[in-house]
A = this chain, B = another copy of it.
Amino acid sequence: MLFLQGGATQQFSMIPITLLRNTGREAEYLQTGYWGKKAIVEAEKEGKVKTLWSGQADGYKRLPDDAELSFSEQAAYLHYASNETVEGLQFHRVLGPDSVPRVCDMSSDFLSRPVDADRFSIIYAHAQKNIGPAGVTVVLIKKSLLDSAQEQPNLPSFLDYRNHVATHSNYNTPPVFAIYVTLLVTRWIKDVVGGLENMENINHRKAELLYQAIDDSQGFYQGWSRKEDRSYMNATFNLTTPELEQRFLQEAAQAGFSGLDGHRSLGGVRASLYNGLTVPAVEQLLDFMSTFERKHR
């Protein structure tokens, strides 16, 4: 486990630099949303990338079904994002064949639920969603993967995972405050919440309350994502007109709710439900939504 700087963005490059560059092989990526696409753009700079599936034509409203995915056993690795924060899409299963290194961007759901980490060759997650303040990115990487990685004499030293492994994340001065808060959060999850199963249960409860309210509104609130791909981390929805959405966001802000604006690339409303958000906070939002609906239906 490494604590690195540079966010998920830096991992978008370090992964293909390490596992794809100069190999002549092909990496398989899933273009499931805003972040999945960003990862592809950086990987294509380093080698051959096959976009195994893209939700772009559908406006990223759903994730692929198993029947739509045909994985190659020869791929250098498979990369996907477990949760798309912008669109509010989340995989509720592990993808791909076990014979291919499985690389997963868990930036927005790491430590929000139990994960069978052994099935992944690389898991990476920036801290600033569920685990700590911005500035540190957790990278879990199988050492065997690095043993077989090519030597690249001219690679900048800080882009070589092995330098960070050899120095126990002290290759350069690490972001100690962010790492310390991450320690406190993991203790909180373990000792106060009672573990990742409980964390997941709480996160599910929050999301289910909100999605239920959306579904019960008979079209006043309209969920963005296909139901089976809905994210437990980011609930995205629209109102019937852009004007009503603006009014909703304005009144919500006046009522003390912050951060409900959808991502600039998508618009609409996005309620993020990360570990730090409480069930009562969701209930307050539901009260507001209910009042707003009565007033404006």
Contacts and interface: CB of A to CB of B under 8 A. Distances in A.
Size category, A interface: 20 to 34
Nearest to A135: B175
Contacts of A7: 5, 158, 172-173
Contacts of A5: 5-7, 10, 135, 175
Given A7-B173, A9-B171, A135-B136, 11 more contacts: A5-B5, A6-B10, A9-B157, A13-B157, A17-B156, A45-B153, A45-B155, A134-B173, A134-B175, A135-B177, A135-B178
A157 B13 CA distance: 8
A267 interface: no
B178 A175 contact: yes
Given A7-B5, A45-B156, A128 B173 contact: yes
Copies of this protein in the assembly total 2
A245 interface: no
A253 to B, nearest CB: 21
A138 to B, nearest CB: 14
B158 A10 contact: yes
A97 interface: no
A217 to B, nearest CB: 32
Contacts of A41: 157
Contacts of A177: 133-135, 177-178
Interface string A41-84: 11001100000000000000000000000000000000000000
B156 A42 contact: yes
A41 B5 CA distance: 21
